[in-house]
Every structure is written in structure tokens, then in C-alpha cells.
Amino acid sequence: MVRKSRDAKFARLFVMMMLGVTLSCFIWEGSADGECGRIPINTAFAGLSPCMVAGRNAQAKVPPACCDRVKSLMQINPRCLDVVFHSPAARFAGIVPAAAMSIPKRCNIRNGPARRNA
């Protein structure tokens, strides 16, 4: 009987600790400033959905909606675009970093992001 009570207390304590760790991770991620400011990289990538075709093919026409979003993202931080197009989500979506990084030039946006080798 005593063993069951102790096991139940341990299980409740373990669940509460795991809940606390999970919540603290969400709070920490949400408050951390990264390359894209307070915008998580996956959220920034999702905002560039009009750029998917242009990000896979350097010869594809870039839609005006994509140019607008790229321009606004670059105003946050020029390196943000580089980080977004090299993210795991971009790789999963089939984005070719070289094609994606040429989007600012194809949109006639000055001061494109600093490029990195990948």
C-alpha cells in the first residue's frame, strides 16, 4: 500500500516536471530574438509561401506577392532571409538555396542578404 502511494506521488511529480520543462521551452523560444527578430524561422518561412516556385527554380518568374514579402523580411534583418532559405523547413520543401537567394535580385530589391556557402 505504501509503495503504491509513493509510486503515484512520483508519477505526478514526474508529469508536473515534464509539463514545466515543456512550457518553459515554449516561453524561451517565443521570447528569444534570433536572426529574424522575434519571428520564429518556421513562421518566417511559412510567410514566404508565394515564393515556393521561385525558390525551387532560378528561371521561374517571381510573383509580386513574393517580392513584397521578401522586401519586408529583409527590412527586419537582411540575414533573416538567408537563414530562412537555409532552414530545415526550406530543405524539406525542396527549396534550392542558390535559386532562393537570387529572389531579391530578380525582384530588383537592393541590398540583398549576405550569402553563405551551403
CATH of the domain at 96: 1.10.110.10
Q: What's the mean per-residue pLDDT of the chain?
A: 78
> pLDDT-based confidence at 110, cuts 50/70/90?
confident
- Give the whole-angstrom CA distance, residue 97 versus residue 56: 8
What residue numbers bound the domain in which 44 lies?
34-118
Same domain, 44 and 76: yes
Going by pLDDT thresholds of 50, 70 and 90, the confidence category of residue 112 is low
- Examine the domain organization and report whether 47 and 24 are in the same domain: no
pLDDT bucket at 105, cuts 50 / 70 / 90: very high
CA distances to 6, 8, 37, 87, 95 from 43, in Å: 44, 40, 12, 11, 16
pTM of this structure: 0.64
Digit-coded pLDDT (tens) for 6-19: 777 766 755 565 55
